[in-house]
């Protein structure tokens, strides 16, 4: 059972406190006030349960319920005020027949107000009911002080605590929903960035090898066949990488990217100086450096018209230099270097990309704290 649907059952349990009213009314010798009082008690109990069921809904732990619109709370508060006025009128009808026992009703009215009305309205009403429950036994002859004032005070504090707990739970559920939405957005961005890097590199190499195979068809048929076989393998590897990325299980290795860079640069007829090993690079930096080499080499093959590329690898940094046409800044709308910058910043590192100062060409460098 959810609190939203069956919360009135919990409220109904406390109606047994109206038993004192019923007992006093059954002993009332005046038939008119006895009948009027008993009917009023029944209507009071039914009205109280109705207002509880239609008032503030406790948030369900299984389903997030958005808060009502701007106009909805005012209508709901007006309905609660009209209900409270009706309950107070029914309380007044019980007074002639049950005497001071009717003051029990004030506890229920105060609890209802503390849960459903704005605090600035509920607190003054609860204080008025508390004062009434304290003053009436002293002001009316024959009435006894049965602790109804204290009951109003304790009931108000208890229901205020329940209200605060419900509101905190509502905020928690809303925050969890927001975090879930952000996680989905972050995962989509990750997949998009990975697909860009994977397909950008793979399709670049496929294009270069296809052009090379086409030129070799009339010159060296056997080598052309080997290049076409490499094309098939590259396409299969790219498809496997895309599937693994979509499933969130894809990894990338620094030695593998160094080997892939050597093959891609050779296919583009670009002389390359690559590190022979990556053992000195800490594990935490290897994936970032691998993505850096992949993105930089892809851009060299695509855009640079370079004849020579040098990759420098250190434990806290990687640098890729070429002697191509160079540029002052990445191409507008490019996502590769932007994604690489996000990866670097996630590890507390910094990406530097731009024209070389010492000679023509382009430089991509990623540095991370040692």
Structure tokens belonging to residue 12? 């109904």
Residue 222 lies in a domain: no
Higher pLDDT, 182 or 152: 152
Based on the domain organization, do 159 and 28 belong to the same domain?
yes
Residue 173 lies in a domain: yes
Based on the domain organization, do 287 and 174 belong to the same domain?
no
Closest CA to 157 of 82, 104, 107: 107
CB atoms within 10 A of CB 144: 11
Per-residue confidence (pLDDT) for residue 44, from 0 to 100: 92
The domain boundary, picked from 133, 152, 179, lies at 179
The domain boundary, picked from 179, 195, 223, lies at 179
Q: What is the 3-state secondary structure (H, E, C) of 285-349?
A: HHHHHHHHHHHHHHHHHHHHCCCEEEEEEECCEEEEEECCCCCCCCCCCCCHHHHHHHHHHHCCC
Convert the pLDDT of each residue in 173-212 to its tens digit.
888 788 777 877 776 776 666 666 666 666 777 777 788 7
Based on the domain organization, do 289 and 161 belong to the same domain?
no
Based on the domain organization, do 141 and 259 belong to the same domain?
no
Based on the domain organization, do 17 and 126 belong to the same domain?
yes
What's the CATH number where 258 sits?
A: 3.30.565.10
Based on the domain organization, do 30 and 140 belong to the same domain?
yes
Closest CA to 295 of 197, 206, 209, 362: 197
Based on the domain organization, do 165 and 16 belong to the same domain?
yes
Based on the domain organization, do 175 and 258 belong to the same domain?
no
pLDDT value at 235 more than 50: yes
Domain count of the fold of the chain: 2
User: Which residues, 6 or more positions from 370, have their beta carbon under 8 angstroms from its beta carbon?
Assistant: 315, 316
Instruction: Flag the least confident range among 59-68, 226-235, 247-256, 259-268.
Output: 59-68
**Domain range for 79:** 3-179
Instruction: Flag the least confident range among 150-154, 247-251, 312-316.
Output: 247-251
Residue 196 lies in a domain: no
Per-residue confidence (pLDDT) for residue 68, from 0 to 100: 45
> What does the angle CA 155 – CA 124 – CA 136 come to, to the nearest 5 degrees?
70
Per-residue confidence (pLDDT) for residue 295, from 0 to 100: 87
The domain boundary, picked from 151, 179, 207, lies at 179
Compute CA 323 distance to the chain's CA centroid, rounded to the nearest angstrom: 47
Q: Would you say 237 and 202 are in contact if contact means Cβ atoms under 8 Å apart?
A: yes
Based on the domain organization, do 172 and 265 belong to the same domain?
no
pTM for the structure as a whole:
0.49
Convert the pLDDT of each residue in 252-296 to its tens digit.
778 778 888 888 888 888 898 988 777 688 878 888 888 899 888
Of all residues in the chain, the percent with pLDDT exceeding 90 is 19
């Amino acid at each position: 059972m959810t609190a939203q649907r069956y919360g009135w059952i919990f409220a109904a349990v406390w109606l047994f406190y109206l038993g004192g009213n019923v007992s006093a009314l059954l002993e009332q010798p005046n038939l008119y006030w006895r009948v009027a009082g008993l009917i009023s008690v029944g209507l009071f109990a039914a009205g109280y349960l109705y207002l509880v069921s239609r008032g503030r809904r406790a948030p369900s732990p299984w389903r997030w319920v958005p808060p009502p619109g701007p106009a909805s709370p005012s209508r709901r508060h007006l309905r609660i005020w009209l209900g409270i006025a009706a309950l107070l009128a029914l309380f007044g009808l019980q007074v002639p027949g049950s005497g001071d026992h009717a003051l029990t009703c004030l506890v229920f009215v105060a609890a209802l107000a503390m849960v459903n009305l704005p605090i600035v309205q509920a607190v003054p009403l609860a204080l008025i009911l508390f004062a009434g429950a304290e003053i009436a036994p002293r002001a009316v002859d024959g009435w006894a002080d049965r602790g109804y004032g204290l009951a109003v005070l304790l009931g108000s504090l208890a229901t205020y605590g329940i209200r605060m707990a419900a509101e905190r739970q509502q905020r928690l559920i809303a925050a969890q929903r927001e975090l879930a939405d952000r996680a989905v957005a972050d995962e989509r961005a990750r997949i998009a960035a990975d697909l860009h890097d994977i397909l950008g590199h793979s399709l670049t190499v496929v294009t270069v090898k296809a052009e090379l195979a086409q030129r070799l068809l009339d010159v060296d048929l056997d080598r052309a066949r080997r290049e076409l076989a490499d094309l098939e393998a590259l396409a299969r590897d790219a498809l496997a990488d895309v599937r693994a990325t979509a499933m969130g299980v894809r990894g990338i290795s620094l030695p593998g990217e160094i080997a892939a860079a050597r093959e891609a640069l050779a296919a583009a007829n670009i002389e390359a100086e690559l590190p022979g090993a990556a053992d000195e690079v800490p594990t935490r930096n290897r994936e970032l450096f691998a993505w850096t080499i992949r993105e930089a080499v892809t851009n060299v093959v695509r855009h640079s018209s370079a004849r020579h590329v040098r990759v420098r690898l250190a434990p806290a940094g990687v640098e890729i230099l070429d002697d191509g046409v160079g540029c002052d800044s990445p191409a507008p709308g490019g996502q590769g270097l932007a994604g690489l910058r996000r990866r670097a910043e996630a590890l507390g590192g910094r990406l530097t990309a731009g024209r070389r100062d010492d000679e023509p060409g382009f430089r991509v460098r990623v540095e991370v704290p040692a």
